[in-house]
Amino acid sequence: MTAFVVRRLAFACVTLFAVLTLVFVLVRIVPGDPAQLILGDQASREAIDALRQRLGLNLPIWEQYLVFLAGALRGDWGVSLVSGQPVIGEVLKVLPWTIQLTIVSLILGIAIGVPLGVYAAIHRNRVIDYAVRVSSLLGLSFPPFVAAIILLLAFAIALPWFPVISARSGSLAAWYQSITLPAVSLGLITAAYVTRVTRSAMLEVLSEDYVRTARAKGVPWNAVVWRHALRNALIPIITVVGLYLGILIGNSVLTEIVFSRPGLGKLLIGALNQRDYPMLQGMMVIYTLIVVLVNLLTDLAYGVADPRVKLK
Amino acid sequence: MSARATPTAAPTPLAYFAAQTIKAFNTNKTSWIGLLVFLVVVALALAAPWLAPYDPNDQNIMEKLRPPSAEHWLGTDSFGRDTLSRILYGARISLVIGVASTLLAMLIGSAIGMFAGWHGGRIDTVTMQAMDVLLAFPSLILGLILVAMLGPSMHNIIIAIALTSIPPFARIARAPTIAIKEREFVMAGRALGFSDTRIVAGHILPNILPEILVMGSLWLANAIRTEASLAFVGLGVKPPTATWGGMIREGFENILDSYTLALVPSISILVVIFALNLLGDGLRDAIDPKLKGET
């Protein structure tokens, strides 16, 4: 197990390094001089030079790269051009909102998707299977903000059960009130993906010899499905859930906007509109860290779900 | 190969391809529905100048935020512009950006995948590792940042969406290239002294084309969704040009006055994406039954 974890950690470090390099390049493909862009056309030569100095744009490119890498890893992500606060502080302040939303949506997606997928698989080609397939395909066709707007219209405006602005916290009731609609809108789309992969993975496993053997020796059907088959179908499910987490984090940006919910999404859109480059760079670093962490967890989950993975 | 008993003419490659396509569509009847709906949308978009009852950008403040009526079938927006006309014209933007970015991603992605698969070894490892890194980063966020930095023009949006959709095409092109590389007809080509380019383009590409095209229909759905998402946060083609995402944004800002304004473009987008998913999903089943339902 130790060797397995070490190998995955090493791979995570390589990915982190690669994506950080990508971020560095991305921020520098902006046409024109960022200092000029930030200050506008009216800025004096001196002001632009001073800002270039402050942003480190006067250094040679490889030195900028080293400064960026060192800063990114130390948590020194510069200062927001808009608020004048350190980027890392602003990011950490809203991070819990996004993480809560993502985790609750994911749990919702798995709790709905896995049983539904298993159920569809064991009733293959029956009416219920077709219904599940078509509705899951419809579910994953939803742009996340469309799902959010429809829920908002239905359950916050037509039926005033939930607040229109989901930014309350404090008591448990307030938390529940503010997270339900955003999490349901993301969770249903997640459930659509999970249902489909669960169904197809189960179909494959259910035709295996060991399933027939288990049936033949008299293991109850329920135990065969939930213990033998589902356990073996876990690997593709984990793969999709892991990959989908990246999409989910992206989608949460739109959901946060619709529900006026604090989080990385609102921060990101604000930074994009204000052209707050240090903030954007910092946000890409935090997204990278999240993605690398998710990949690492996915890899470790493989090892838990299927002990053979660790030996490879 | 068996000796030809009856002198029937061998089908031309094109006829063979057409026959296979129809067979694939027939495996899953839902593909036909998806195709039909999508073609209707394409036709409506093409015919927008003749079908639209009003100019999509004509403002009429006296008529603003009207509910659906005989004059304005789908009502008007906060500038008094006709929603139906804007939906028809907006479809053009969605389709042009969607199709162009998907084609671009398809071209670059499958070229990268075939290149990696054909060469194998270290080139393959490094290329695919790079693709995995790109795939790991949330594509919507990457798209947002790219468009914000390049500026929200039509062709920058196309480039940004295409860039984020390259990795899946590279992946899907790579695996069959590796498998086909070892087949006799490729070795025969090599023995005849064909260049790598000729073997890959002339003999491997046609074999993996069906899979790439099916992936294309699914990623077209994704590209249309991404374009709408960009427009929804204000990074779409500049107003007053009608885009579905932009219309949803405007409708959302006026949601307390008129809910049809956000709902109509939302449903339009959902119909197109659902149709494309039905089409691609059904065809994928036909091409590879093992992939059934995987996303």
Residue B4: pLDDT over 90? no
At residue A290, the pLDDT reads 87
Residue A82 lies in a domain: no
Distance between terminal CA atoms of chain A?
Answer: 11
CA distances to A24, A277, B157 from A69, rounded to whole Å, are 9, 16, 29
Reduced to 3 states, what is the DSSP secondary structure of residue A79? strand
Contact B295 A295 (CB under 8 A): no
Does residue B247 have a pLDDT over 60?
yes
Alpha carbons within 13 angstroms on the beta-carbon side of residue A205 total 25
Judged on CB neighbours under 10 Å (0-12, 13-18, 19+), B257 is exposed
CATH code assigned at A282: 1.10.3720.10
For the segment A17-66, what is each residue's pLDDT rounded down to a tens digit? 887 887 788 777 666 666 776 777 777 878 778 877 777 777 777 888 88
CA-based angle B212:A145:A241, to the nearest 5?
55
Say yes or no for a CB contact (<8 Å) between B225 and A143: yes
A79 DSSP β-pair partners: A86
- The CATH number covering residue B52 comes to 1.10.3720.10
Q: A113 and A28 in one domain?
A: no
Shortest alpha-carbon distance between residue B190 and chain A (Å): 35
Domain's final residue, options A49, A74, A99:
A74
Q: Let me know whether A189 and A241 are in one domain.
A: yes
Average pLDDT over residues B110-115: 91
Q: Do A153 and B255 touch (CB under 8 A)?
A: yes
Instruction: Indicate yes or no: CB of A137 within 8 angstroms of CB of B277.
Output: yes
Whole-angstrom Cα distance, residue A141 to residue B272? Answer: 9
Q: Do B144 and A249 touch (CB under 8 A)?
A: no
| In a shared domain, residues A128 and A152 | yes
- Whether residue A81 is contained in a domain is answered as no
Compare CB distances from A247 to B129, B138, B221 and report the shortest one's residue: B138
Cα-trace Rg, chain B: 23
| Residue B7 maps to a domain | no
Residue pair B101/B139 in contact by the 8 Å Cβ criterion: no
- Together in a domain, A153 and A268: yes
Q: What is the phi-psi region of residue A252: left when phi exceeds 0, alpha when psi lies from -120 to 50, beta otherwise?
A: alpha
pLDDT confidence of residue A4: 76
Residue A75, amino acid: G
Please check whether residue A13 touches B, CB under 8 A.
Answer: no
Q: Is residue A79 part of a domain?
A: no
ipTM: 0.84
Contacts of B136 in chain A (CB under 8 A): 15, 19, 246, 291-292, 295
* pLDDT given for residue B208 in this prediction: 82
Residue A80 is assigned to a structural domain of this protein: no
Residues A182 and A286 in one domain: yes
User: Is B6 domain-assigned?
Assistant: no
Compare CB distances from A197 to B30, B232, B295 and report the shortest one's residue.
B295
| Residues 126-165 in A contacting B (C-alpha not used; CB under 8 Å) | 133-134, 137-138, 140-146, 149-150, 152-153, 157
pLDDT above 70 for A311: no
Asked if residue B170 is part of any domain, the answer here is: yes
C-beta of residue A101 within 8 angstroms of C-beta of residue A249: no
Same domain, A58 and A205: no
B3 within some domain: no
For residue A59, the 8-state DSSP code is S
Per-residue confidence (pLDDT) for residue B1, from 0 to 100: 43
Contacts of A152 in chain B (CB under 8 A): 255
B6: exposed, middle or buried (Cβ count in 10 Å: 0-12, 13-18, 19+): exposed
Chain B residue with Cα closest to A147 = B266
Average pLDDT value for residue range B232-240: 86
Q: What pLDDT digit, counting tens, does each position of A123-172 carry?
A: 988 999 999 999 999 999 999 899 999 998 888 888 888 877 766 666 77
The pLDDT value recorded for residue B291 is 46
CB contact under 8 A, B140 and A250: yes
Using the predicted structure, report yes or no on whether residue B202 has a pLDDT greater than 50.
Answer: yes
Using CB atoms and an 8 Å cut-off, which of residues 54-73 of chain A contact chain B? none
Confidence of residue B294 (pLDDT cuts 50, 70, 90): very low
Domain span at B106: 13-291
Cα–Cα distance measured from residue B186 to residue B203, given in angstroms and rounded to the nearest whole number: 7
Q: What is the pLDDT of residue B293?
A: 42
Judgement on whether residues A42 and A94 belong to the same structural domain of the protein: no
Q: Which residue of B has its CA nearest to A129?
A: B293
Q: What is the pLDDT of residue A1?
A: 66
Does A91 share its domain with A224?
A: yes
A11 and A60 in contact (C-beta within 8 Å)? no
Q: Do A138 and A68 sit in the same domain of this protein?
A: no
- What type of residue sits at position A304? V
> For A163-213, how does the pLDDT look when each residue is reduced to its tens digit (9 = 90+)?
777 666 667 777 788 888 999 999 999 999 999 999 989 988 888 888 888
| A18, A27, A133: residue with CB nearest B293 | A133
DSSP A56: T
**Quick one: average pLDDT of B219-234?**
92
Eight-state DSSP code of residue A202 = H
> A98-107, A157-166, B204-213, B233-242 — which one is most confidently predicted on average?
A98-107
Q: Is residue A312 part of a domain?
A: no
Cβ–Cβ below 8 Å for A157 and B281: no
Chain A interface mutation, best of B131, B137, B153, B155, highest count of A Cβ atoms under 10 Å: B137
Candidates A22, A123, A146, A151: best to mutate against B (most CBs of B within 10 A) is A146
pLDDT for B292 equals 42
Q: Decide if pLDDT at B111 tops 80.
A: yes
Q: Which domain holds residue A260?
A: 87-305
What is the predicted pLDDT for the residue at B209? 85
Return the number of other C-beta atoms located less than 10 Å from residue A249's C-beta.
23
Whether residues A165 and A143 share a domain: the answer is: yes
Determine the distance in angstroms separating the CA of A216 from the nearest CA of chain B, rounded to an integer: 26
Which residue in A58, A46, A198, A178 sits closest to A116, CA to CA?
Answer: A198
Total structural domains within chain B? 1
Domain count, chain A: 2
Cis peptide before B67, with omega less than 30 degrees from 0? Answer: no
DSSP characters over chain B: ----SS-PPPPPHHHHHHHHHHHHHHHSTHHHHHHHHHHHHHHHHHTHHHH-SS-TT---GGGTTPPS-SSSTT-B-TT--BHHHHHHHHHHHHHHHHHHHHHHHHHHHHHHHHHHHHH-HHHHHHHHHHHHHHHHS-HHHHHHHHHHHH-S-HHHHHHHHHHHTHHHHHHHHHHHHHHHHTSHHHHHHHHTT--HHHHIIIIIHHHHHHHHHHHHHHHHHHHHHHHHHHHHTT-SSPTTS--HHHHHHHHHHTTTT-SHHHHHHHHHHHHHHHHHHHHHHHHHHHH-GGGTT--
How much of chain B exceeds pLDDT 90, in percent? 25
pLDDT at B221: 92
Among the partner-chain residues A138, A199, A284, the one whose CB lies closest to the CB of B293 is A199
- Please check whether residues A199 and A165 belong to one and the same domain: yes
Nearest to B79 by CA among B54, B53, B60: B60
Q: How far is B11 from chain A (nearest CA, A)?
A: 35
Type and span of the H or E element at A152: helix A144-152
User: Is residue B165 domain-resident?
Assistant: yes
Burial degree of A31 (CB within 10 A; 0-12, 13-18, 19+): exposed
Within-domain flag for A117: yes
Among the partner-chain residues B141, B256, B294, the one whose CB lies closest to the CB of A268 is B141
Q: Which residues of A touch B144 (CB under 8 A)?
A: 253, 268-269, 272
Same domain for A167 and A131? yes
- Across A152-283, the runs of DSSP E, i.e. the strands, are none
In a domain, A311, yes or no: no
